[in-house]
Amino acid sequence: MDKKVVTNGKKGSRPSKTRKGSEVLARIRQKPETKRVEKSSAVSSEGLSKVQKVSITDKNDGQRLDNFLISFLKGVPKSHIYRIVRAGEVRINKGRAKVDTKLSLGDEVRIPPIRLGEEPKHYVPPITPSAMPNILYEDDHLLIVDKPAGMACHGGSGISYGLIERMRISLGEDKFLELAHRLDRDTSGAIILAKTRKALVRLHEMMREGEVKKFYLTLVKGDWVNDRQHVKLPLHKFLTSSGERRVRVDEEEGLPSHSIFTLIERFGLVSFLEVELKTGRTHQIRVHAQANGFPLVGDDKYGDFDFNEQVEKGLLGIPFKRMFLHSHKIEFNHPVNGNKMIIECPLPKECSQLIQTLRKNENR
């Protein structure tokens, strides 16, 4: 019978294996908090002046050759990487290779001399122990944390760094650490990081097959009608004229998307819901709710902006100044040992205080 692992998101509730002290926190404490750490690159701005031979370790076992080279040769255009592979200048164990060749532990990769342009370096601050997101679960393959609202998962689109970059700096960039999935910047809650490539690849397979169940808590504007409602509206990503990423319901170009909304409580002006994602499209909950006439409280992309402004000033009993969307539970079988995992992440303080205030006012 498979072992079942359940956490409730409270500090100290992790399995006994990590109860004596988190590997993450231990490593962070070893680093001086004031030390500036520059973004590392495997290649200097001058490039590689001679042939390099790199032995493949656990970190890159099973990785495609092109993805390995893109990561190792930071700053080199992808077109150049593909060109040197096709030309036979990159060798694996002295033999020619293709860009989609899978690397194995112990393989020797020959990388030819390469000239690089100057790559700007960006300071990525490590996460101090006091600012470390609450660790919901940790073992040799997984690290599941409670991402705070306002922190991006990764850098990009004008953001220099996010959770994953800061975690890598804090743990040491020689360690494997990748996002298994993503949360919007303004969404809080449970997010899975993979500490081994084996776990990452299997998790991605499980997510494609719908074997990872994700549940969210949200507060929407309006009096939600049905106790349980399936929303199946195809979603299409597009860019606005200013270059901002958005999503809309589009019957012709949209991808199949499925959310299940379950009513928890009604408060007149707003309704408290749990949402299960059956697919994982960008902004899925936000757009599905808005398309049904119930925009998320605090949503600055798809919400009711006038209503949100009033909520910020205390319309619902106390001032509330964020989007109310929280990843509160993830259920899946462990990608390596198969144990049943139920990871729960309680509402952050500002969200729970708002719900308590709404309940109190409702009972008056």
Contact call for residues 69 and 85 (beta carbons, < 8 A): yes
CATH number of domain containing 76: 3.10.290.10
pLDDT band at 139 (very low <50, low <70, confident <90, very high): very high
Domain count, the chain: 2
Single residue among 111, 142, 158 that ends a domain in this structure: 111
34 belongs to a structural domain? no
If asked whether residues 90 and 145 sit together in one domain, one would say no
Q: Which of 184, 186, 299, 304 is catalytic?
A: 184
Instruction: Please tell me the least confidently modeled range out of 131-135, 219-223, 294-298.
Output: 131-135
Domain around 340: 1-14+23-28+133-364
Neighbours of 344 (CB within 10 A): 18
If asked whether residues 155 and 92 sit together in one domain, one would say no
If asked whether residues 152 and 301 sit together in one domain, one would say yes
122 belongs to a structural domain? no
Contact call for residues 175 and 127 (beta carbons, < 8 A): no
- The question of whether 184 is a catalytic residue gets the answer yes
Q: What is the pLDDT of residues 76-100, one digit of tens each?
A: 888 888 888 988 889 999 899 998 8
CA distance 327 to 143: 15
36 belongs to a structural domain? no
The residues that bridge with 331 in the sheet, in sequence order, are 213, 342
If asked whether residues 2 and 90 sit together in one domain, one would say no
pLDDT band at 4 (very low <50, low <70, confident <90, very high): low
CA distance 184 to 195: 21
pLDDT of residue 8: 67
If asked whether residues 97 and 153 sit together in one domain, one would say no
307 belongs to a structural domain? yes
Residue count of the chain: 364
Instruction: Please tell me the least confidently modeled range out of 173-182, 268-277, 342-351.
Output: 173-182
Q: What is the pLDDT of residues 251-284, one digit of tens each?
A: 999 999 999 999 999 999 999 999 999 999 999 9
- pTM of the full predicted structure? 0.73
If asked whether residues 221 and 161 sit together in one domain, one would say yes
pLDDT of residue 31: 47
pLDDT > 90 fraction of the chain, expressed in percent and rounded: 55
Q: What is the pLDDT of residues 227-241, one digit of tens each?
A: 999 999 999 999 888
pLDDT band at 195 (very low <50, low <70, confident <90, very high): very high
Q: What is the pLDDT of residues 46-63, one digit of tens each?
A: 456 688 899 998 888 889
Helix and strand totals (H; E) in the chain: 9, 17
* Pairing state between β 340-344 and 4-7: parallel
pLDDT of residue 24: 58
Neighbours of 228 (CB within 10 A): 10
If asked whether residues 10 and 155 sit together in one domain, one would say yes
pLDDT value at 205 more than 90: yes
Q: What is the pLDDT of residues 147-171, one digit of tens each?
A: 999 888 776 656 666 788 888 887 7
Average pLDDT of the chain, as a whole number: 84
Is 128 or 331 the better-scoring residue by pLDDT? 331
pLDDT band at 12 (very low <50, low <70, confident <90, very high): very low
CATH number of domain containing 364: 3.30.2350.10
Contact call for residues 53 and 109 (beta carbons, < 8 A): yes
pLDDT value at 131 more than 80: no
pLDDT of residue 45: 44
